[in-house]
Structure 1
Amino acid sequence: MSNLQGKNILITRDQQGATILADVLRKTGANPIEVPLLQINCKRFEMKDALTQYSWVFFTSQKGVACFLQHERYAQQLHQCNIAAVGEKTKAALHNRGYVVDFMPSTYNAETMASQFLQRFNTKERVLFVRGNLSRPVLLKAFTKEKIPYDVVEVYETKQNDGMKQTLQKVSERNAIDYITFTSPSAIDAFLSMVPNFTTWQSIPTVCIGTTTEKKAIDAQFSNILVADVFTIEGMVEKMIQHHNGKDE
């Protein structure tokens, strides 16, 4: 069976997400090294209107789902709304709480989500985007262009976990890193701000969860970038296995 036996794999995502990815990697025999460079926390929010005033509610992350549904009033009202989810993991987070997802794009990113939704649904009614503070404006720009009214509610905050700076610096001294993993552009930003000598990391195979993170890695000038075929952590692990076995094209 294909595996990553003995490979040292750096995980840079937030602590909760890092633990999940680490568990998947251990099943392949890999040695996951968790250095969570981000902190993601739910934040307090209020909305002036009832959720039922919106024709659609868009979720672009599992964290957005979790933080939004902490509010019982909105959790109840959401059952009466059309729901859009960016990908399988976000959809599963909603399904696990008893919600039906009415739209999910074929490729799990904001660009595809916007184009496919606007092609399929001819709505001019107001929509709600449930987001974090660092979410990209792709969806908002697309809906603005089509003159579709919308509101935004920020339900979680992502910030750098500066306490990990020394840990990250020591990692390469203690271990020969075989793969670096990134699940968001903000993790790459945090990484670049914390490493003292980027050139020592630049050529290490860098595994990105999707094309948005890949673009950031290209801009950062990583030289050996791998992108998951399916934009999930399982897809990232499968890409590493393919690369390790020399089957990655």
Structure 2
Amino acid sequence: MADRQTDNKIHGKLIICTYPQPEPDEFSVQLEKAGAKVLFMPAIEIRPLTCQLPKQLSDYNWLVFTSKNGISSFFNQYQPAANNKVAVLGEATGSELNNFSLNANYTGTGRTGADFAKELKDVIHPGESVLLVLGELAPDTIQQELQATNSVDRINIYQTVAPDHFDPECVELIESESYDLMIISSPSAIKNLYLAFREKISQWRVISIGKTTTAACRNLGIEPLTTAKDSSYKGLAETTIEYLQHQNI
């Protein structure tokens, strides 16, 4: 919890979150407790995809998910087979699985897909079959790591697209540079924001959720003020509070 000194530093700061608001939202809860004003202007939309499974679900030993969006999009369409084991990346993804009355057999560290892929090599036995359930923009990192020892199929269960429009109040704040921070949680979000506002923003004041998103920002010539140490909404909150505590913006 933020202390009194932190509260004084953060009080009145205007923060624009560019991710779709989750329930519960650990970031906005913590920042609002500390006295900030948090507005939501999603820079991405998640749309489920209908896909054809390569095999029967019962043919797979493992179902592997890297995001909450993958969990909801998949289990709203399919029921798992009795023999399926489920691996998820991070506790938040596991919590979404619980909403479907299911529990993960393995929960990864919640940091990066590359770390998760390496962990899975110690969890999934050679010869076991794997179905990767991912968003269409996800890289092939896990498949490349496992395919030498396992039969691995991939399906894209959701797509990430730019929204049809942005919240007018937030647009006005951004264009007049009347905000303190923008919170960026994915490469897709910063790309969509850049395309929408690159002619109208002279100074980008963004905090990134992790290394991959920071790299995407830098590829566009945008240097984040800081990057979350832990790639989660809780980690974002802690990093943002720490940043504001030590900066005068």
Report the TM-score when normalising by structure 1: 0.85
Q: Which residue of 2 aligns with 1:56?
A: 62
Work out whether residues 54 and 128 of structure 1, in 8 Å CA contact, stay in contact via their aligned partners in 2.
yes
Equivalent residue in structure 2 for 1:111, among 98, 111, 114: 114
Q: Which residue of 1 aligns with 2:79?
A: 75
* Cα distance in 2, alignment partners of residues 76 and 126 from structure 1: 14
* Cα distance in 2, alignment partners of residues 76 and 31 from structure 1: 42
Work out whether residues 11 and 182 of structure 1, in 8 Å CA contact, stay in contact via their aligned partners in 2.
yes
Answer yes or no: is 1:129 the counterpart of 2:144: no
Deviation at 1:56, TM superposition (A): 1.0
Answer yes or no: is 1:93 the counterpart of 2:96: yes
Percent identity for Structure 1 against Structure 2: 22
* Cα distance in 1, alignment partners of residues 109 and 29 from structure 2: 27
CA deviation digits over 1:141-192, x for unaligned, max 9? Answer: 2234x25321112221210114128766522244532211111111111111
Structure 1 residue ranges without an equivalent (≥5): none
Deviation at 1:48, TM superposition (A): 4.3
Equivalent residue in structure 2 for 1:149, among 151, 155, 172: 151
* Cα distance in 2, alignment partners of residues 18 and 120 from structure 1: 30
Trace 1:21-60 onto structure 2 (pairs within 5 A): 21-60=27-66
Answer yes or no: is 1:212 the counterpart of 2:215: no
* Cα distance in 2, alignment partners of residues 224 and 209 from structure 1: 10
Answer yes or no: is 1:9 the counterpart of 2:12: no
- Which range moves more in the overlay, 215-224 or 159-168? 159-168
* Cα distance in 1, alignment partners of residues 46 and 211 from structure 2: 22
Equivalent residue in structure 2 for 1:194, among 180, 193, 196: 196
Structure 2 residue ranges without an equivalent (≥5): none
1:168/1:196 CA distance change after superposition, 3 Å:
farther
Equivalent residues, number: 240
Q: Which amino acid aligns with 1:246?
A: H
SS at 2:107 equivalent: coil
Q: Which residue of 1 aligns with 2:235?
A: 235
Deviation at 1:199, TM superposition (A): 5.7
1:92/1:109 CA distance change after superposition, 3 Å:
same
* Cα distance in 2, alignment partners of residues 18 and 31 from structure 1: 18
1:133/1:167 CA distance change after superposition, 3 Å:
farther
Report the TM-score when normalising by structure 2: 0.85
* Cα distance in 1, alignment partners of residues 36 and 168 from structure 2: 23
Q: Which amino acid aligns with 1:140?
A: Q
- Which range moves more in the overlay, 82-91 or 93-102? 93-102
* Cα distance in 2, alignment partners of residues 10 and 153 from structure 1: 33
Equivalent residue in structure 2 for 1:182, among 181, 184, 200: 184
* Cα distance in 1, alignment partners of residues 47 and 13 from structure 2: 31
From the two aligned structures, give the one with the greater helix fraction.
Answer: 1
1:169/1:19 CA distance change after superposition, 3 Å:
farther
CA deviation digits over 1:34-60, x for unaligned, max 9? Answer: 221111122222324221211111111
